[in-house]
């Protein structure tokens, strides 16, 4: 493949620096977004309904809140991302797809786009780790 046009190309060190900043922003924003879903379930605020203590959704909310904050802060990102990715996989399979073999297999039909994207995004965070702007360096 050819190189990018002049205005799109940048020195390698500038590109690398930009990638680290972009990854940190992605990690922080996605982590805070996940934490907000946990707050909805645990406390019934931000447009959510509070779920009963000990219910499966309550445990999911706890994982969303704790792992979301950990990823946003860059603290034990790999562990938090692995747990959050698995939680989103369970959410997608159990609450959206439900193993049906009709049109509901498609995320756009079963409304599971966010759970599916989160699942693979957090799997990427697990693979990459903390990155820049993190508590653990």
Annotated domain spans of the chain: 19-128
State residue 124's pLDDT score: 98
Do 16 and 6 form a contact (C-beta atoms < 8 A)? no
From the centroid of its chain, how far is CA 27?
8
Please give the C-alpha separations between residue 31 and each of 23, 36, 63, 99, 118, in angstroms, as whole numbers: 12, 9, 11, 28, 10
Q: State the Cα–Cα distance between residues 23 and 132, nearest whole angstrom.
A: 8
Do 28 and 36 form a contact (C-beta atoms < 8 A)? no
Please give the model's pTM, rounded to 2 decimal places.
0.86
Each residue's pLDDT expressed in tens, for the chain with a length of 137 residues: 555 565 566 666 777 889 999 999 999 999 999 999 999 999 999 998 899 999 999 999 999 999 999 999 999 999 999 999 999 999 999 999 998 888 888 999 999 999 999 999 999 999 999 998 899 86
Residue owning tokens 């190309």: 9
- Name residues whose C-beta falls within 8 Å of residue 98's C-beta, 6 or more positions apart in sequence: 104, 110
Residue owning tokens 């940048």: 10
């Amino acid at each position: 493949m050819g190189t990018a046009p002049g205005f799109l190309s940048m020195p390698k060190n500038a590109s690398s620096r930009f990638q680290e900043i972009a990854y940190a922003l992605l990690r922080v924003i996605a982590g805070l977004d996940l934490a907000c879903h946990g707050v909805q379930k645990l406390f019934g605020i931000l447009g959510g309904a509070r779920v009963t203590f000990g219910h499966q959704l309550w445990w999911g909310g706890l994982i969303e809140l704790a792992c979301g904050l950990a990823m946003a802060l860059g603290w034990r990102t790999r562990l938090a991302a692995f747990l959050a990715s698995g939680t989103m996989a369970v959410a997608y399979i159990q609450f959206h797809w439900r193993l049906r073999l009709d049109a509901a297999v498609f995320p756009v039909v079963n409304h599971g786009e966010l759970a599916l994207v989160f699942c693979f995004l957090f799997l990427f965070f697990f693979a990459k780790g903390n990155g820049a702007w993190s508590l653990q360096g």
